[in-house]
Amino acid sequence: MVKIINARTAGYRLAWIVAVLLLPIVYMGTTIIDSLHKERTAIQSEAAGASYLNILLPVMQDAAGYNTHAAAVMDPMKDSFALSQSVGLASENNNLLTSLSYALPNQHAILKQSMDLALRTGINSGSIYTSQPESYHLAVITSEYFPRVLYDFYSLRQEVMDAAKHTLDQNDNLISLAIGNLASSTARLQASLAEANVASGGDRVYRDMLIRAEDIQRDMNRLSDIGMGMSMAGPQNIKAELIEKINSVAPKWTAILQFDSYQMRQRQNNLLTARSDEIASRNFKILLTSIGTVLLGLGSAFAMYRSTLRKLDDVESAKKAADQARHDAEGMSAELAVINEDIVRVNTELANNMQMLRDAQDALVKKGRMEQMGQLTATIAHELRNPLGAVRTSTFLIERKIKGRELGIEPQIARINNGVTRCDDIITQLLDFSRSKKLSCRSENLDKWLEKIVAEEASQLPAVVTIECLFGLENLQVPFDPSRLQRAIINLVSNASEAMVGNGEDPSRFATSTPRITISTSIEGEFAMISVQDNGVGIAPENLEKIREPLFTTKSFGTGLGLPAVDQIVQQHGGKLVVHSRVGEGANFTILLPLRSAVEEAA
C-alpha cells in the first residue's frame, strides 16, 4: 500500500514538473506561429492590393492612349469590386466604373481617379510598408511612380493639343510646368528602378528596365530642351516641334511603360508567392518542432516515472534487509541529494526560461512599436515628398526663367532650395532609422576612405570650424558598409559643428572662440577606432543616458534621430559606440569597428 501511494505521488510531481517545463515551450511556439500568421495575413493583403493594381494600371494605360471602351479594359473592371472591397476602396472603385461607363468618357478624370486609387491601394494594402527592400520599391513603383508618369505624360499631351488650337503665345507656362512634372516623375521612376535593382542583387529584368528608362530619360531631356526654348521666346515653330516630338515618342513610351509595368507586377507577384511559401514552410517546421518537443517531454516523463518506481522498489527491499539498511540508507541519501540538485537545476532553468520569455515579449513589443513608427514615417515621407518635389520643380523653372536677368531674388531662391534640401534630409533620417537595411560590407583602406569623406563634409560646415585629422591605422583594410558608415560619420561631424557654432552665422552664440573638430583613428585590440572630438560645451550628465533614445534632442531644429541612427549603424557592423563628455570640455564620440567581419570569422 505504501508503494502505491509513493508511486502515485511521484507520478503527480513528475507530471507537474513536465507540465511546467512544457507550458512555456508550447506558449512560445503558439506565439511564434501567431506572429507568422499575422505576417502571412499581411502578405495576403499585399497580394490583394497587387491584384487590384493589375486591373487599375491597364485602365490607366488605355485611358492615356484614349481607349477606355475596349473589352480589355471593361471586362476586368467588372470583376474588380471584390478586390477593391478587400483594400477598402469599394466606393472609389464604383466611381471609376461610373466614369468608364459614360458614352464620352473624360480621360483626364479617369486617369486622376485611377492614379489616386493606385496610391491608396499601396497604402491600404500595406505593400509600401513592407520591410523587404525589393518588395517595397516594387510597391512604390506600381502604386505611385508608374501611375504618376502616365498621368503627367497624358497631361503634357493634353496641354500641347490645347495649345495647338490657339495662338503660339498661349498656354506656354502650362506646357513648361507639365514638362517639369513629367521630368520629375520619370527621374523618380528611374531612381526607384535603380534602388530595386540593387535590392534584387542586380537581376537581369531590372538591368533591361533601366536601359529602357534611360531611353525615356533621353527623350525627356529633348522635350525639356524644346520646352525651355519655347519658354524663352524662341522661334515660333518650337511648339510644332514639341507636338511632333511628343507624337513620335508616344508609341514608344506607351509600349515601354506597358511592358515594364507588366514585368514589375509579375515580379511583385512572384516575390509575394515566395514569401508566402517561406512562411508556410516555417509554420510547418515550428509545428513539427513543437510536437516533437511535447512527445520528447512526455517520453522523458514516462521514463522518469518508471525509473522512480524502480528506485522505490529498491528502497522497500532495502528495508527488509537489516544488514544492508545502513548502506541502502546512505545510497538513498546520495540519490535524494542528486534529485534535490536536479530540482534546483530545473527551477533555475525554469527561471531562465521565464526571463528569456519576458525578453522575447519585450523584443516583440519593441518590434511592434518600430513597425508602427516605420509605417507612420513612410506615410509622412510619401505625403511630404510629393509637395517638396513640386516646390523643387517650380523653383527650378523659376531659376531657368530668371537666369541672367539680375532681378535680385537669387538669395531667396537659394534659401528655398536649402529649405527643401533640409526637409529632404530630415525625411531621409526618418526613413534610415525606421527601416533596417542589410549591410553590404567590403574591405577598404579606412584611413583613405575617411580622409575623403571628411574632406567632402568639411566643405559643408561653417568656415569658422577647423577640422584636424590624426590617422593611425597605417593602410589597414577594414570591412564596413561605406554608405551606412558615411551616414554615421557625417552625423557625428554635423552634431559636433552644431554643438559649437550652430549654423555659423552668429558669432555671439558660438560655444568657443576657436571651434575645432579632431578626427583620429587607431587600433584598439580587435577593433578599429574612429574618434570624433570637439571642444564645445560638452553634454550634461543627465542627458548622457538619454542621447541614444529616439526623438530626444536639445536642439530646437533637430529630429532626435541622428545619434540613435549612428548607434544602430555601429551595432549592425558588430561594433559599439562609446561616448565621453564633461561639461565645458567638449564631447568625444568613439566608434569601435571589428577588424574582421562575421563572414570572415566563419571562414
Burial of 465 (0-12, 13-18, 19+ CB in 10 A): buried
pLDDT at 2: 42
Element (H, E) at 594: strand 587-594
Q: Which residue has the higher pLDDT, 319 or 360?
A: 360
Sheet of 527-534, strand order: 466-470, 516-524, 527-534, 587-594, 576-581
Residue tagged 515550428 (cell numbers): 286
Cell (9 digits) for 422: 533640409
Cell (9 digits) for 585: 570640455
pTM: 0.44
Instruction: Give CA–CA dist 46/115, Å, rounded.
Output: 18
Instruction: Give CA–CA dist 581/551, Å, rounded.
Output: 20
Is it the case that residue 223 has pLDDT exceeding 60? yes
CATH architecture of 442-602: 2-Layer Sandwich (3.30)
pLDDT at 68: 55
**Those residues with Cβ within 8 angstroms of residue 119's Cβ, 6 or more apart along the chain or in another chain:** 143, 144, 147
pLDDT, tens digit, for every residue of 416-459?
887 787 787 777 766 666 666 677 888 999 999 999 999 888 88
Contact 209, 190 (CB under 8 A): no
Burial of 62 (0-12, 13-18, 19+ CB in 10 A): buried
Is it the case that residue 599 has pLDDT exceeding 50? no
**Average pLDDT of span 382-401:** 81
Is it the case that residue 95 has pLDDT exceeding 50? yes
| DSSP class per residue in 383-450 | HHHHHHHHHHHHHHHHHHHHTTS--S-HHHHHHHHHHHHHHHHHHHHHHHHHS-PPP--EEEEHHHHH
pLDDT, tens digit, for every residue of 544-573?
777 777 766 666 556 666 778 888 888 888
Rounded to the nearest integer, the mean pLDDT of the chain is 77
**Those residues with Cβ within 8 angstroms of residue 510's Cβ, 6 or more apart along the chain or in another chain:** 464, 500, 501, 502
Contact 445, 476 (CB under 8 A): yes
pLDDT, tens digit, for every residue of 447-484?
999 999 998 888 888 888 889 999 998 889 999 999 88
**Average pLDDT of span 44-59:** 77
Choice among 23-32, 230-239, 551-560 with the minimum mean pLDDT: 230-239
Contact 118, 89 (CB under 8 A): no
